[in-house]
Amino acid sequence: MGLILFFQILFFSILSSPPSSHGWGKEGHIMVCKIAQQYFTEKTAKTVIDLLPESAEGDLSTVCPWADQVRFRYHWSSPLHYINTPGVCTYKYSRDCHNSKGEKDMCVVGAINNYTEQLRDYGDSSSGYNLTESLMFLAHFVGDVHQPLHVGYEADEGGNTIIVHWYRRKTNLHHVWDTNMIETAMKDFYNDDLNSMVEGIRMNITEDWSDEVDHWENCQNKRVTCANSYASESIHLACNYAYKDVEQNSTLGEWWITTDDYFFSRLPVLEKRLAQAGVRLALILNRIFDPKSVWEYSSVIRSIGDKEFNRAANAGLARI
């Protein structure tokens, strides 16, 4: 009787507790990598396929959630998914990129720079790195740094301790941005189909955002990558969109109201961040694996017609 009662209590406590969030949800990470694959050069695509585990069957998107799945086995990797700022709307590497023990470079920007450098060893038989894991970590962390609340306030753990209601469901603000908004968008606009949402974002890249794409990789103080700029963008968006007008126990969606200001005003931000993450991941990998190629992203993106995109999506690589 006591054991039954224990499991009943455990079951209901799981149902009532808000989920703990670690990065874009599985769907978000898959989308980022599906977008990235469309902009790989042929050489990059072949190298990525060579590095992927056999279980991926040549599709990078299948392993993009991997870093979340191993964080409890690789405990040291947990702080590499995010950055905390001291309650300010600015990011500074020297101040913010460290773990809870104060160890420097242990944050998502440090991780992106580190795994980018490791992957430059591809083809060097003396390399001591596991480049398959380096690729999977890099693909995941480029996605993470684009989720605005992955560069959030230390006091609320990037929105994890801000309890809210997303329509009828109790959750937390971080999870809203990781998962809930993506799920709602897929259900309301894309017939619950992930590939349809990827195609919708892809159309925005080639049409509505085409004039912006050339600037997505430009940055000041570029060291190994432009990841510092990605983090600065995220804390700015966190302050101006994610945190804005949200308090403890806020209801961010009312099921009986057809117009939801929070959802509809934030969804374009979320979709653009998924797009930027995908395009930037492709550019990073192209620079690592095919550095002699010169790629102007606006012209490359405009050159991909629907027929080309569908062929690339089916093949898992871009034919440009």
Residue 97 pLDDT greater than 70, yes or no: yes
Q: Is residue 248 part of a domain?
A: yes
What are the distances in angstroms from CA 51 to CA 46, 54, 152, 293?
9, 9, 33, 20
Residue 197 pLDDT greater than 80, yes or no: yes
Q: Is residue 14 part of a domain?
A: no
**Beta-strand pair 169-172/163-166:** antiparallel
- The mean per-residue pLDDT over the stretch 187-203 comes to 96
Q: Is residue 4 part of a domain?
A: no
- Yes or no: say if 281 and 225 are a contact pair by the CB < 8 Å rule: no
73: containing domain: 21-315
Q: Which helix (H) or strand (E) holds 277?
A: helix 261-289
Q: How confident is the model at residue 298 (pLDDT cuts 50, 70, 90)?
A: very low
- The mean per-residue pLDDT over the stretch 209-235 comes to 85
Residue 224 pLDDT greater than 70, yes or no: no
Q: How confident is the model at residue 137 (pLDDT cuts 50, 70, 90)?
A: very high
Instruction: Considering only residues 272 and 317, tell me which one the structure prediction assigns the higher pLDDT.
Output: 272
- The mean per-residue pLDDT over the stretch 167-192 comes to 95
At residue 259, the pLDDT reads 52
Lowest mean pLDDT among 23-27, 108-112, 197-201, 219-223: 219-223
Q: Is residue 7 part of a domain?
A: no
Q: Is residue 13 part of a domain?
A: no
Q: Is residue 320 part of a domain?
A: no
Lowest mean pLDDT among 9-13, 48-52, 57-61, 215-219: 9-13
Q: What are phi and psi of 172, to 5 degrees?
A: -130, 165
Question: What's the pTM?
Answer: 0.86
Distance of alpha carbon 57 from alpha carbon 22, whole angstroms? 26
Can you name the residues that pair with 83 across neighbouring β-strands? Answer: 151
DSSP state of 41: -
Q: Is residue 40 part of a domain?
A: yes
- Yes or no: say if 142 and 217 are a contact pair by the CB < 8 Å rule: no
- Structural domain total, the chain: 1
At residue 9, the pLDDT reads 39
Tens digits of residue pLDDT in 7-53: 343 333 333 334 444 567 899 999 999 999 999 999 999 999 999 99
Distance of alpha carbon 14 from alpha carbon 235, whole angstroms? 31
At residue 83, the pLDDT reads 98
Residue 266 pLDDT greater than 60, yes or no: yes
Distance of alpha carbon 67 from alpha carbon 87, whole angstroms? 27
Q: Is residue 289 part of a domain?
A: yes
At residue 155, the pLDDT reads 97
Torsion, Cα 195 196 198 200, to 10 degrees, reads: 170
- Yes or no: say if 214 and 297 are a contact pair by the CB < 8 Å rule: yes
Tens digits of residue pLDDT in 142-174: 999 999 999 999 999 999 999 999 988 999 999
What CATH code is carried by the domain that includes residue 187? 1.10.575.10
- The mean per-residue pLDDT over the stretch 218-233 comes to 81
Instruction: Considering only residues 219 and 241, tell me which one the structure prediction assigns the higher pLDDT.
Output: 241
Other beta carbons less than 10 A from residue 206's beta carbon: 17
Return the structure tokens found at 184.
């709602």
